[in-house]
Chain A
Amino acid sequence: MVTGEESDALAQSTADAVARRSYGKLIAFLAARTHDVAAAEDALSEAFASALTDWPRNGCPENPEAWLLTVARRKFIDALRRTQNVDPDVDVLTLGAIPDEAASDDIPDRRLALLFACAHPAIEVAIRAPLMLQTILGLDAKAIASAFLMSPAAMGKRLVRAKEKIRQAGIPFRVPERAELPERLDAVLEAIYAAFAEGWSDAAGTDAARRDLTAEALFLAGLVAELLPNEPEALGLTALMLHSEARRRARRSRDGDYVPLAQQNRELWDWNMIDQAEGLLRRASSMGTIGRYQLEAAIQSAHVDRCRTGRPNWSEVLHLYDALIAITGSPVVAVNRALAVAETGGPQAGLEAMPDAADDPRLAAYQPYWAARAELLARAGAAAEARHSLEIAIGLAGDPAVRRFLEQRRALLAV
């Protein structure tokens, strides 16, 4: 005999599981024709609420996804009837756009089209990642806001505005044509990487909302890689993120101190994730089109390989950085490249390869630039200049663990 509490719990856990697996699929399906993401979200959340009262009473349905779609579809159409001064044709269109349960055993997966709508060039760049997290994964504005260090009200408003834009401006739910695909896919991947970076910046993993974001971003990247299996950059991004995530536990000591790559305890690395990343990277490189994310993943892979075998591979790393600079022209990449130059050609060569902050105001406020400069200056024996750079790096450090690490470096310099 199942008690009421048990069936409540079962209903809740089934609903949670479906939400995780099917949320974006149901939203994409409901909103594909009308472009009305907000209405689809409302309908689906009502359907979930109905499920939590119906399932404990009548048992969980055999196909919970189809059950939810049937209910959500009805709520969606009711809402359309209520809110819009519709001409009689619209009902017919809506019913046509959202087939009934007979056909819903196999709900077409339009999540990819929804991702492309979220990262459409007509959508403000900064809101693309939050929009994906909300529409595909069902994260609420409050959770997203806390991950992106924004007030829930401001985040909520911007999400509403973006969804309004999708609906009113007629942004299509469509995988772009071949000719536009690379550029449009790049926008999708960039937004996913931005979500990952937000989660990643909480290195200590103390903030649950941000820690979860790396997992959510990995899920999105995996989804794109699965739905576009022949796009090497989608595989590259997934590989890059897996490589970073694999070393999460080793990035901080037990006392919460920053641990540089070379000193990390490799037993704390997740070798399963690393193997997965390597497999994806191999598959990507067999497709013969190189790109930013594949190169960054390849650099991570080279670092792992060096740590594992003890065999220096800096010239290989330098090669990868050269290619990455050619593609991105990024000053941040130039800083990392200069560190690789120093490993092969000595600290002076590294300093010469280092970009000048005077030429780029973004670098002047970029803490790792000053830390890297200080490192090379110290190795070249220019203690006073190294100290000056370290001071700036310490002043710019936002993460207390990194600040402590830099302060320790400064203390060593003084001796």
Chain B
Amino acid sequence: MAVAADDAAYNDDGGETMQYLLMIYGEEGGWEKMTPEEQQRGAAAYMAYTEALAASGVLKGSNRLRPSSTATTVRAKDGKTQVLDGPYADSKEQLGGYYLIDVPDLDAALSWAGRCPAVGHGLVEVRAVWSM
């Protein structure tokens, strides 16, 4: 097959990598509505996913966030700091956690995002990170 033969020439990405933030959005009430067995299965799925990322050497960081009901938003207006109770966007789906990964390109990032358990109950936004 010609493609296979030419892969080496085309896939010349030089070994540089990029960091991507996989942001997990989901409905927050979802977790409480689950049975203890479902919660256990869910937690195990995330654990396995995190381990797979770590074992592949791409994981740079990961955390789960506390509920958005505990969020506080800060901005400055006319030089005066305003502190507001609640998240920035009052939408049904909220940022609940993230993975920071180091991979060659968007395809690799999307492929990891697709395996994240979050895609079953919410969604994953993939954003490239500026390298400083």
Contacts and interface: CB of A to CB of B under 8 A. Distances in A.
Asked if A and B are interacting partners, one says yes
Interface of A: 32-33, 93, 96-97, 108, 110, 112-113, 120-122, 168-176, 178, 181, 227-230
A230 B1 contact: yes
A169 B2 contact: no
Contacts of A171: 105-107
A34 B3 CA distance: 23
Interface in B104-132: 104-107, 109-110, 126-128
A172 B12 contact: no
A112 B6 CA distance: 11
Q: Which 5 A-B pairs have the closest CB atoms?
A: A172-B105, A170-B18, A170-B106, A170-B105, A113-B10
Interface in B87-108: 104-107
Contacts of B106: 120, 122, 169-172
A175 B13 contact: no
B105 A112 contact: no
Given A32-B12, A228-B2, A230-B3, 10 more contacts: A93-B14, A97-B14, A120-B106, A121-B110, A169-B126, A169-B127, A170-B20, A170-B128, A171-B105, A175-B7
Nearest to B19: A170
Interface string B1-45: 111101101111110101010000000000000000000000000
A270 B9 CA distance: 38
12 contacts: A32-B12, A33-B13, A96-B14, A113-B10, A121-B110, A170-B20, A170-B109, A172-B13, A175-B6, A229-B2, A230-B2, A230-B3
Contacts of A228: 2-3
Interface residues of B, number: 24
Contacts of A173: 10, 13
A170 B107 CA distance: 8
B4 A178 contact: yes
Interface in B30-79: none
Interface of B: 1-4, 6-7, 9-14, 16, 18, 20, 104-107, 109-110, 126-128
Contacts of A110: 9-10
Given A171-B105, A228-B2, A33 B7 contact: no
B104 to A, nearest CB: 7
B98 to A, nearest CB: 17
B68 to A, nearest CB: 26
Contacts of A96: 14
Contacts of B128: 168-170
A175 B5 CA distance: 11
Nearest to A33: B14
Contacts of B4: 178
B109 to A, nearest CB: 8
A171 B104 CA distance: 10
B23 to A, nearest CB: 14
Nearest to B110: A122
Contact of A178 (B3, B10, B11, B18): B3
A172 B104 contact: yes
Contacts of A181: 3
A302 B4 CA distance: 35
A173 B14 CA distance: 12
Contacts of A176: 107
A120 B104 CA distance: 16
Contact of B16 (A93, A168, A175, A229): A93
A97 B12 CA distance: 9
Nearest to A181: B3
Contacts of B104: 172
